[in-house]
Amino acid sequence: MKPIFNRGPTLESRLLIVVVLSLGLLISDGLYGVFKPVRSLLITIVSPVQYIASLPAVMLDASSDRIISQEQLIAENDKLVQQLVALQADNQRYQSLLAENEQLRKLLGAPLQNDLPKTVAELMAVDNNPYSLQVLINQGSLNGVFNAQPVIDDQGVVGQIVDVAQTTARVLLVSDLSHAIPVRILRNNLRLIANGSGELNLLNIKHVSHSADIAEGDILVTSGLGNVFPEGYPVAVVSQIKRDEGRPFALVKAIPLARLDRLRYLLLLGKEEIPLTPLIPTESAINTGELYE
């Protein structure tokens, strides 16, 4: 039966309760990140919705895999074989260069760089959120994904992990407004910081002095400072430089090398037990002489 008179608290008092609750959540989570530790639990609870939402894409992929023609497969196979031969030729040189580099580093007494373990992940969803650029991947804490783990694709750095659930994780892209990554110019080792712009294919390089040696087309690679991203992975290419003397710094823009708008397979670098080696040897390591073996 439909009640004639409303029971319970009035509309205004209910509004007051939920608005106070929302504001409390906003301030505690948005400004102080109180709910960061339970985020993974919350995401795990709502992950059924994500799985159902990704079903159509998965089924579409599966059916398109089935009806692919033989000619297409042969053509693709040819292309892959050619790529493989080219990469193997490069790899031969890489091996000898690696050995040479290790010898030189030993001579200099610089720490050796060891190979990082890699995990392959597949893209599950791109967020429908114009305010933050994040994607969801199909690997979670059960697969050893951890917070702040660096993520790359076959072209360059994609971003880092921000929320880990049991079977999914959220990647913050390098071009998100709240993201910054320490980089250096490949050509002359000038250290810079690349900030996200909020636009998918644009990074802003801040605090570049007018006299800095930087040119359009320069490739920016990770500098390894900050100990989140390992050193030497390509990030972006400088696309635009405006040296307006009226401003304190030059206006520099860069385009990320990773194809952020068509991500499919991603690589997660590192393991939680093996911290990324700091670029600068620690004092204790120098004192004990373990770097000079």
Cβ atoms of 119 and 145 within 8 Å: the answer is: yes
Burial class (CB in 10 A: 0-12, 13-18, 19+), 20: exposed
CB nearer to another protein: pick between 50 and 277: 50
Residue 130 binds another protein, judged by CB under 8 A: yes
Site string for another protein, 14-33 (x = CB under 8 A): xx--xx-xxxxxx--xxx--
| Distance separating alpha carbons of residues 60 and 278, to the nearest angstrom | 44
Rule CB under 8 A: is residue 145 a binding residue for another protein? no
Residue 70's SS3 state is helix
Supply the minimum distance, in Å, between the C-beta of residue 201 and another protein: 11
Q: Write each residue from 107 to 126 as x if it is in contact with another protein (CB under 8 A), else as -, in one continuous string.
A: -----------------xxx
Least Å distance between CB 192 and another protein?
21
**Of the ranges 8-16, 210-218, 226-234, 240-248, which one interacts with another protein (CB under 8 A)?**
8-16
Query: Is there binding between residue 231 and another protein (CB under 8 A)?
Result: no
Residue 98 near residue 115, CB atoms below 8 Å: no
**Could you give the string, one character per residue 155-194, with x where binding to another protein holds by CB under 8 A and - elsewhere?**
-------xx------x------xx----------------
| Token pair 């989140």: residue | 228
Residues 6+ apart with CB under 8 A from 278: 224, 227
From 10-18, 66-74, 141-149, 215-223, span contacting another protein (CB under 8 A): 10-18
Can you give 25-59 as a three-state secondary structure string? HHHHHHHCCCCHHHHHHHHHHHHHHHHHHHHHHHH
- The single-letter code of the amino acid at 157 is V
Binding of another protein at residue 4 (CB under 8 A)?
no
Give the burial class of 39: count Cβ atoms within 10 A of its Cβ; 0-12 exposed, 13-18 middle, 19 or more buried.
middle
Chain residues binding another protein by CB under 8 A are 2-3, 6, 11, 14-15, 18-19, 21-26, 29-31, 35, 39, 42-43, 45-46, 49-50, 52-54, 56-57, 124-132, 134, 162-163, 170, 177-178, 198, 200, 261
